Structure 1
């Protein structure tokens, strides 16, 4: 692992077969496509990887396949997200077994806990392993946002090495970046998980991006990041706006028929299927699949975003 994780770190989709097993060949192709695009690292078993839906044996299989495919070329981060601290610690042990470089986890959820218990959660996880820990701020799923002062304390004593901010609150993200800079935490990685405001986040000083849409167009996010790093903000803006058009794929599924998560994850997988990267756009039960006519609309949106379907 570099001292400061930067760049583009897509949270891998988990391709599935029609009978809902890990599709190894598709997962290898997807992983290889992200490496070929120049991604800095990959995150297996993030939200986009349907980590919340996968049984433990499938989680382990994903880590085995991804780390084997990457073969040390870039760091592999493992999502170890679960409801309670000790279940997360069990997943950390699996991440160690398969040679992952770091782990990513949210605060506990389901139970109603306070900030002191969230802090204990992260400190227990960090104390259980030598792997770096990255905090994942996802209030829409966890039920509460990580307090900035708590994150700063955890960064300051290196309990966590960084944070993925998927709160959608750019003001809060900017505040955390400024607080970390004022505290001299130059090695803290503060990554945005918001695909549509990456140029703004990088201009504010974010270390990089963890984009679910990066599965579909990793080269686009690498181009955006490289342009921002070179202070070529006009090119960064143009690339961000093209990715904004591509992101419309998540709005195609009818929300009266299918859940928002299933609609978004299904859209990513449908796009990867149409691009010939995965063999099947299956999502894990109980999520409902996209309809053929919805996948047809996604094909048109890929073309509009300058990507070329092969199906």
Structure 2
């Protein structure tokens, strides 16, 4: 595993802007990427959970990949989600992402069918062989994948050079800390551990994670960059203050009426609404069948942006 594979810092999982007719809005996607780069991010991650990758057609996914790679133009690494139910289906996404020229691949365990850790290991080994020199990262998101990736399996795959790191969106802080300790004990110095939690970044960085993949980073990339910079500089009070501000900004996901929509519609709708109100994207619609936010809900997000200093 090379030093270049050791990803650190702030790598937001970009939403996929859509038109009112549910096509990929490439102009808005380009502005979103430029907004991220201006905020100082260390990479971008497309077609993940926030990117609604599993909702898009293969043709739409390819548009996202090609637009992102062309817009970023090598300024930061581009990671692509290759998330699907089975190894063969994921392998097809890997081929498409490699063809587009991405710098890293992010895969969950297979889902829908129940899998054993031995089968998950076979899954990642097959994908890594196909990826060759392109780093492959595991994505631990039990609520979506239906299984928790054991720390022992993750570190074993790291020791074998199968994966270059992990994005931990399990929400289990003790498991995340176990992973950090195991990495140190096994001397996996270049193995990347990123948290997917928007609201515990300062504490996670303090016990040794390498960075964050925050959905809220779509709306405030510069805020997460300031948080990361303060934390790695040992400026705990400044990091805590920035985290507290972002914690309050995360209240935007509570605005949508959850009695009429699911958690994904609420969170992604709020992120897109924030970007729409900031003038970054043209339309806040989420991928079908997600229920869109109402005009009233969108406007209710504005004061929360104002409170956070975003205009």
Same fold at TM > 0.5: yes
1:171 corresponds to: 174
Rounded Cα–Cα distance in structure 2 between residues aligned with 1:259 and 1:283: 12
Could you state the TM-score of these two structures normalised by the residue count of structure 1?
0.98
**SS state at 1:47 partner:** coil
**Structure 1 residues 7-30: Cα deviation after superposition (integer angstroms, max 9, x where no partner):** 000011100000000001100000
**Structure 2 residue corresponding to 1:16, chosen from 7, 15, 18:** 18
**SS state at 1:135 partner:** strand
1:37 positional shift: 0.9
1:292 positional shift: 1.1
2:203 corresponds to: 200
Rounded Cα–Cα distance in structure 1 between residues aligned with 2:160 and 2:147: 23
Rounded Cα–Cα distance in structure 1 between residues aligned with 2:68 and 2:225: 20
Rounded Cα–Cα distance in structure 2 between residues aligned with 1:222 and 1:250: 21
1:304 positional shift: 1.0
**Structure 1 residues 248-285: Cα deviation after superposition (integer angstroms, max 9, x where no partner):** 00011111111110010000000000000000001110
8 Å CA contact 2:8–2:210 kept in 1: the answer is yes
- Structure 1 segments, 4+ long, off by >3 Å, are none
**Structure 2 residue corresponding to 1:29, chosen from 14, 28, 31:** 31
1:59 positional shift: 0.5
Q: How is 1:162-311 mapped onto 2 (pairs within 5 angstroms)?
A: 162-308=165-311
**Structure 1 residue corresponding to 2:154, chosen from 111, 131, 151:** 151
Q: Aligned pair 1:116/2:118, yes or no?
A: yes
Could you state the TM-score of these two structures normalised by the residue count of structure 2?
0.98
8 Å CA contact 2:94–2:105 kept in 1: the answer is yes
**SS state at 2:16 partner:** coil
**SS state at 2:286 partner:** coil
1:3 positional shift: 3.7
Rounded Cα–Cα distance in structure 1 between residues aligned with 2:194 and 2:248: 22
**Structure 1 residues 42-82: Cα deviation after superposition (integer angstroms, max 9, x where no partner):** 00111100112111110011001000000111110010000
Rounded Cα–Cα distance in structure 1 between residues aligned with 2:281 and 2:51: 14
2:56 corresponds to: 54
8 Å CA contact 2:5–2:135 kept in 1: the answer is no
1:107 corresponds to: 109
Provide structure 1 residue ranges, at least 5 long, that are not aligned to the other structure: none
Provide structure 2 residue ranges, at least 5 long, that are not aligned to the other structure: none
Over the aligned positions, Cα root-mean-square deviation in angstroms equals: 0.8
